[in-house]
Structure 1
Amino acid sequence: MAVASAVLEHLLDVTKCKTLFITHYPLVATELEKKYPQALENLHMAYTEDVRVDGTREITFLYQLTKGLAKESFGVECARLAGLPESPGGDEIEKKLEDLRIMIDSMTLSSPQDTDA
């Protein structure tokens, strides 16, 4: 996460070039958007979500940029759309990874921030 943050901050502060920067670290995106509100905008691809009778989700990607961060990652759904075989426990693994990411993000947000004098 530190490397992603440093690279993006360098692009914003030093290079100042237009950049499409894609990350799975929402903390990087939100913190730098606060620091560089005129230069950085968080966007995600819009989607619709339907729950089938059997409880499975059906995601339809709309291919439209929408303001804000995506609420979740759709790795398993993308794999299904690509025709990859489902692995046993894939949804459970994805849920555990998402819970871990949320826990790490909350720990990072609650830790004291270094400030330069």
Structure 2
Amino acid sequence: MHPLVFIQTNKFLAIAALLPAAGVVAYGAFISVTEKPPHPSLEQQDYVSKTYRLSYADGQKAMFKTDYGASLVFIGSPLGETGRVTEIAKHANGWAVSTSKGYIFTVTR
């Protein structure tokens, strides 16, 4: 077999093997971007707001106090059962931290 034919055949096999995986990754990214986070029930929100108390926030980080200590989080950081931190935003009278599971914590200054 000619070496050029062998290289072209291997490229084709590699592309054919990677295409389905790339499609799955692209589909997962599309679904995660387009899905809206669920709204937690009032009971869940009340329990979580007592468990995780936002004590400080600025544009880059936020600090939560729990019964077990303090947690410093950034955008993308996991925050226990509330999911990952998706946004730390300034509002008129303070800061709000949103998570991937729909929880919103606020602190006023």
Give TM-score, length-normalised by structure 2.
0.20
Q: Which of these two proteins has the greater Rg computed from alpha carbons? A: 2
Give TM-score, length-normalised by structure 1.
0.19
Q: Which structure shows the higher strand fraction?
A: 2
Structure with bigger RCO (C-alpha 8 Å, 6+ apart): 2
